[in-house]
Structure 1
Amino acid sequence: MLTRRFTGFTAALAGAALLCTALTAQAREYSVSTVLSNAFPWGQAADKWAELVKERSDGRITLRVYPNSQLVNGDQTREFSAMRQGLIDMAVGSTINWSPQVPQLNLFSLPFLMPDYDAVDAVTGGKAGEMVFDAIESRGVIPLAWGENGFRELSNSKLPINEPEDLDGLKIRVVGSPLFHDTFTALGANPTQMSWADAKPALTTGAVDGQENPLSVFDVARIDQVGQKYLTLWHYMNDPLIFAVNRNVWQQFPEKDRELLRQAAEDAGAWEIEKSRGERDDRLAAIKERGVEVVELDDAQHQAFVDATRSVYNTWTPKIGEALVETARQAAENR
């Protein structure tokens, strides 16, 4: 009798353990950091990833998106470090914001390296993209897929920008990257580093004259309402997004779930890139309708900006890696 009772008790414990394991597998939630909300394509990419993962795992895996850099108290440049340390499980992040910790990501901030979408795709989808992913993985973060924040364009409150000389002395808000400082200094501007939270008030008061951002940010954030009357489409850099996971978190997933997460990230990234690029013309038309004067450079005008920033390559190529820069350059030229 005692043996039967003990056996029954053991079976009950085993059943409870199995139930606990099943419930845990069904209820796992992971944090996903983004800088922008789902009012922007960037935030929509993170939401799409979460949606696909939940759907394809039948609710076993939940990705909870935290927009506006909530998990790093608004300091977007700390996002990669926080993910690397395990304070954040996953992120859809910017190459610009992660470049302080991964120098190779400065590749995408080199001025005028990628003139069009075909060049962007050739770089991210080829050997250069693989080299960048290897650099990220070597720092304890697993990159899964590419997204896109878009080409960054230039706006200001003073005058149409048609040539480098037009930038002389203009105070331009830039992100917290030394490469941006060097680029705008080479163009004769006065670059001022500040967070995006501080940028709009500074533009409103005239503390800075201009800024650079993708059209989606200019449009959704209504930058035209803070005195930015002139917009130059110069395509000086493209900011790819990267879907990534903390290495320790990644290793906890069985192989089947790793493939699920990776494929969902790739699908979400492809969806977001297509959506973002497809909306560009409508965004530009809306911006023009609001009275913004838009300058589109011809080939000679564009080349003048390329020539004016060529010195930036001499400074930054050794820091990024000569092999990586050359691989990317060839991919962009041979697109």
Structure 2
Amino acid sequence: MTSQKRRSIIGALATAPLWTAGSSAWAQGAPTSLKISHQFPGGTINEGDFRDRLTRMFAEGVTKRTNGSLKFEIYPGSSLMKVNAQFSAMRKGALDLSLVPLNYAGGEVPETNIGLMPGLVTSYAQGSAWKNAEVGKELARILAEKGILIVSWIWQAGGVASRTKPIINPEDAKGMKVRGGSREMDLILKEAGAAVVTLPSNEIYAAMQTGAMDAAMTSSTSFISFRLEEVAKALTTGRDKAYWYMFEPLMISKAVFERLTKDQQAAIMAVGAEMEQFALKAAQTDDVAVAAVYQKAGAKVVDLNAATVKKWQDIARATAWKDFGARNANCANLLKLAEKLL
């Protein structure tokens, strides 16, 4: 090889991107685009389902704070991947971020079922306290071990929509086909005499429309966004009291997060925390708004009182809590720590 050829090769190598192990476009400072997936109807940053709005507000905030080094693509309505595939995809680094009910991962990670544990969280104040309490820190530790980091802590009150009569007391569910939304919710429904139906919230409308399901438990926001007032004749709200609250966080793949710069990581966590107050106010607003939507549609709207909440909670203690605590040591410890906040 001539000296001139050798100099040409060395020069080419010096100017080529270094795609060696551990390097990436992120490490070189190039703009990075991250994908956010969720199952809820899409809208705009100002209108629509607040969970979709939150992802758009989060994306805008992080992009601004990182001077454009991080950008985001939002995929609403399960347009990127199926609902139940999101958690696993994040663990593998195949999906960047998702806003999804944590308990949807219960079949893969049993501990996540605490995110929809009947009777364990009975107010927004109690749910909001989890983040900085022992239970929240332990849950975050477990998720981090599984490859997931919590970006925004979001809680939503739950209610019940029915094609026929309202479900208020446990005995009202007897003989009905009801979607609970988690293994633990299903256990209390079975104890009440209901037949359980398992499917994600974005499939409730079709199941109720066809009669495959009589009633469904989900959040106030989902009752509105999925237009369930079109197929429901009764609604039990969570606007005053509720016996279950759903943990529906914005999460990021740990593998993806760790490839970002320290400044990008800090921006994601800071903006994620800022979104929590917006989520709280929006969820509470929807708890009230859902009643008006269903009343306008001609549905019978009812609320719960403390005595009714306790009936459901007593059943949950004897069934769902007992079952969850027996799953493994982590589950037992999470339950014990959560009970400290009751």
TM-score (norm 1): 0.86
Q: Which residue of 2 aligns with 1:27?
A: 31
Q: Does 1:325 align with 2:308?
A: no
In 1: Cα distance, 2:157 partner to 2:25 partner: 46
Unpaired stretches in structure 2, ≥5 consecutive residues: 19-23, 43-47
Q: Which residue of 2 aligns with 1:157?
A: 163
Q: Does 1:271 align with 2:278?
A: yes
Write the mapping of 1:210-221 to structure 2, written as runs, cut at 5 A: 210-221=215-226
In 2: Cα distance, 1:258 partner to 1:193 partner: 36
In 1: Cα distance, 2:119 partner to 2:135 partner: 16
Q: Which residue of 2 aligns with 1:180?
A: 185
Q: Which residue of 2 aligns with 1:96?
A: 103
In 2: Cα distance, 1:30 partner to 1:258 partner: 13
Q: Report Cα offsets for 1:232-274 as digits up to 9, x if no partner.
A: 5462221122232222222211212111111121112332222
Alpha-carbon distance, 1:138 to partner = 0.4
Alpha-carbon distance, 1:180 to partner = 2.7
Q: CA contact under 8 A between 2:34 and 2:96: conserved in structure 1?
A: yes
Q: CA contact under 8 A between 2:178 and 2:195: conserved in structure 1?
A: yes
Alpha-carbon distance, 1:218 to partner = 1.0
Alpha-carbon distance, 1:21 to partner = 6.9
Q: CA contact under 8 A between 1:154 and 1:231: conserved in structure 2?
A: yes
Alpha-carbon distance, 1:287 to partner = 2.6
Deviates more, 1:249-258 or 1:268-277: 268-277
In 1: Cα distance, 2:293 partner to 2:205 partner: 20
Q: Does 1:37 align with 2:41?
A: yes
Q: SS of the counterpart of 2:100?
A: strand
Q: SS of the counterpart of 2:248?
A: strand
Alpha-carbon distance, 1:166 to partner = 1.3
Of residues 234, 241, 252, the one that matches 1:245 is 252
Q: CA contact under 8 A between 1:155 and 1:212: conserved in structure 2?
A: yes
Q: CA contact under 8 A between 2:38 and 2:98: conserved in structure 1?
A: yes
Of residues 286, 295, 299, the one that matches 2:302 is 295
Q: Does 1:64 align with 2:73?
A: yes
Q: How many percent identity over aligned positions?
A: 20
Deviates more, 1:196-205 or 1:252-261: 196-205
Q: 1:283 to 1:164 in 2, by over 3 A?
A: closer
Q: SS of the counterpart of 1:71?
A: coil
Q: CA contact under 8 A between 2:113 and 2:183: conserved in structure 1?
A: no
Q: CA contact under 8 A between 1:210 and 1:228: conserved in structure 2?
A: no
Q: CA contact under 8 A between 1:143 and 1:244: conserved in structure 2?
A: yes
Look up the equivalent residue of 2:262 and give its one-letter code.
E
Look up the equivalent residue of 2:75 and give its one-letter code.
Y
Q: 1:160 to 1:91 in 2, by over 3 A?
A: closer
Q: CA contact under 8 A between 2:40 and 2:225: conserved in structure 1?
A: no
In 2: Cα distance, 1:142 partner to 1:308 partner: 32
Alpha-carbon distance, 1:214 to partner = 1.0
Alpha-carbon distance, 1:199 to partner = 2.6
Q: Which residue of 2 aligns with 1:315?
A: 323
In 2: Cα distance, 1:21 partner to 1:78 partner: 26
Of residues 166, 169, 177, the one that matches 1:171 is 177
Look up the equivalent residue of 1:308 and give its one-letter code.
I
Q: Which residue of 2 aligns with 1:52?
A: 61
Unpaired stretches in structure 1, ≥5 consecutive residues: none
Q: SS of the counterpart of 1:224?
A: helix
TM-score (norm 2): 0.84
In 2: Cα distance, 1:21 partner to 1:116 partner: 44
Q: 1:182 to 1:261 in 2, by over 3 A?
A: same
Of residues 123, 139, 154, the one that matches 2:130 is 123
Q: Does 1:223 align with 2:228?
A: yes
Q: SS of the counterpart of 1:70?
A: coil
Give the structure with the higher percent helix.
1
CA RMSD in angstroms comes to: 2.8
Alpha-carbon distance, 1:306 to partner = 2.1
In 1: Cα distance, 2:180 partner to 2:311 partner: 21
